[in-house]
Structure 1
Amino acid sequence: MGGERTKRLKVIGEGTYPGGDYEKVKVTGQGKVSGDIRAVETKVTGEGHVKGKAAINQLKVTGKLTIDEELSSNELNIIGELNVGSSLKANTGTVRGFLNSLGNAELEKLHVKGGVNINGLLNVGELIINLQGAPSKAVEIGGEMIKVKCRSFFSRPQTLQAELIEGDSIYLENTTAKMVRGSNVEIGPGCHIEKVEYRSTFINKDKTILEAKKI
């Protein structure tokens, strides 16, 4: 397959292009891909739309990219906006804009200085969110290390909302959740948590927790 992936796609104006295998894809205008796409490297500074699945080793979005179906990637760098119509799977992700997925999202590492909206399970080994610019939401969040902070000095504080947050080490600020479960749990300011279950340590800096139990 590596020998076939020699094509390059460069979108400057507007147009619709076929899916397939590409070495590099660069979108500075408004481009649509009419099927599944596989690429080693893709950069979107304009507006892109993939009407199918996408498998991209390195993806950088400073504009806006919409993928109708699933996305798999090794490295994500989102400074603009990425919308995924199905599931998302990647090794590492850096979001300094907004990430939206209508299905589950699975990553080894995800660092966010912006917002995320996951309409399913966000499964991450290491998750660090600095809530900025937009509220964040996921149905469930699972991971080894989960850290959520709110450091908006010059703008309105944002929030994270989830039904369940479960991990080994958890620190939360400005978070609303029905259940938080982990080994070492620390609840910081601005949280609204209905129930906490912890195995080792529990630190509560916010008095809005309705119930806490060691398991």
Structure 2
Amino acid sequence: MRRRGVERMRRYEEAMEGAIPTSRIAGSGRVEIPGLGEIRVSGSGYISQEEIRIGGSGELPGGLKIGALRAAGSLKVKGKLEIGEGHLSGSARIEGPLRAGELKAAGSLRVEGEAEGERMELSGSSTINGKVELKDSLTSEGSLKILGDLRAGNLIELKGGFDIGGDVSTKIFRAEVRRESRIGGEIKAEEVEIESRRGGRLRVEGIRGESISLEGVICEDVAGGDIYIGEGCELGRVRYRGKIEIHPKAKLRSPPERMKQES
């Protein structure tokens, strides 16, 4: 009988771990999350399993799984975070990996791990110390730093300056480069469009695509179907299958090579 009682208590504790009691906070307060730690709020907050809303300063324990997170002000998450959707404005620091169905962040965002989900919309300064994998899209305006690869199923659109440590792959890649930027690996997309603004330049190891349009790009190896090479480009080897157009002020180390059409 005693063994059965211990087993029932174990199952109860497992079921309760991470359960979030519904609470409201005005001023400052704490809410205990069994097995994870405390939620701390200075300002105002609404806390439930379905949604957490914080205005002011908030600290969350790692390991939370919630439907929605809305925070305006300063937010710190002490470990892994899993949310259905997130709306963050101000300063947010996640001290672990992030999984989010949809994330919108404005201000300063720092993720100390990899990030995955459906889509992300970032503005301001964003740093992700790991790879990023999204089923749909990533849009970013401002400063973006990603330590590893960046992959999105449909669209990657970047405006400002960015530093991506690995490969970038998607269907459509668009970039408006406003200052010195870098991609440590290759861009692989059906459509690649890179524009230079305010003298911004992009250094990238390689570019692969069906339709490629480049400005202000420094790259060793470009290969695709139709290619436009615009002003400010400095390229090594260029291979194309369809049409090619080269701006008079672009620099190529060697003449472009026509590839055989695939049968």
**What is the aligned counterpart of 2:173 among 127, 133, 157?**
127
Distance in 2, matches of 1:69 and 1:18, equals 13
Of residues 202, 208, 212 in structure 1, which corresponds to 2:251? 208
**Shift in Å, 1:122:** 0.6
In 1, distance between residues paired with 2:87 and 2:142? 15
**TM superposition score normalised by structure 2:** 0.74
Per the normalisation by structure 1, the TM-score is 0.89
Contact preservation (8 Å) 2:59, 2:78: no
Distance 1:36 1:191 in 2: 41
Q: 1:104 aligns with which of 149, 156, 160?
A: 149
Which 10-residue stretch deviates more, 3-12 or 27-36? 3-12
Q: Identity percentage over the alignment?
A: 22
* Greater fraction helix: 2
Q: Does 1:148 align with 2:194?
A: yes
Letter in structure 1 aligned against 2:219:
A
Specify the alignment match of 2:64 in structure 1: 20
Q: Which of 180, 193, 202 does residue 222 from structure 2 map onto?
A: 180
CA change 1:10–1:207 in 2 (3 A) is closer
What is the number of equivalent residue pairs in this alignment?
Answer: 208
| Contact 1:24–1:40 under 8 Å retained in 2 | yes
Whether the aligned pair in 2 keeps the contact of 1:17 and 1:31 (CA below 8 Å) is no
- Report how far residue 24 of structure 1 moved: 1.8
In 2: Cα distance, 1:114 partner to 1:124 partner? 19
Greater Rg by CA = 2
Distance in structure 2 (CA, Å) of the matches to 1:176 and 1:190: 8
**Following the alignment from structure 1 to structure 2, what is the Cα–Cα distance between the partners of residues 147 and 63?**
26
Alignment of 1:1-215 (within 5 A): 6-10=50-54, 12-13=56-57, 15-90=59-134, 91-107=136-152, 108-132=154-178, 134-139=179-184, 140-152=186-198, 157-205=199-247, 206-211=249-254, 212-215=256-259
**Distance apart, 1:14 and its partner CA:** 5.0
Where relative contact order (Cα < 8 A, 6+ residues apart) is larger, the structure is: 1
Cross-structure match for 2:44: none
Aligned to 2:252, the other structure's residue is in SS state: coil
Residue aligned with 1:120, SS: coil
Deviation at 1:11, TM superposition (A): 5.4
Whether the aligned pair in 2 keeps the contact of 1:142 and 1:166 (CA below 8 Å) is yes
Runs of 4+, deviation exceeding 6 Å: none
Aligned-residue CA RMSD in angstroms?
Answer: 1.9
- Higher mean alpha-carbon deviation, 70-79 vs 117-126, is at 70-79
CA shift in 2, pair 1:36/1:207, >3 Å: closer
Q: Is the 8 A contact 2:97 2:114 kept in 1?
A: yes
TM-superposed CA distance for 1:207, in Å, is: 4.0
Cα distance in 2 between the residues matched to 1:128 and 1:172: 10
Q: CA deviation at 1:15?
A: 3.3
Stretches of structure 2 lacking an aligned partner (at least 5 in a row): 1-18, 21-48
The 3-state SS of whatever aligns with 1:196 is strand
- Structure 1: which amino acid aligns with 2:160? G
Confirm or deny: 8 A CA contact 1:44 1:64 kept in the other structure: no
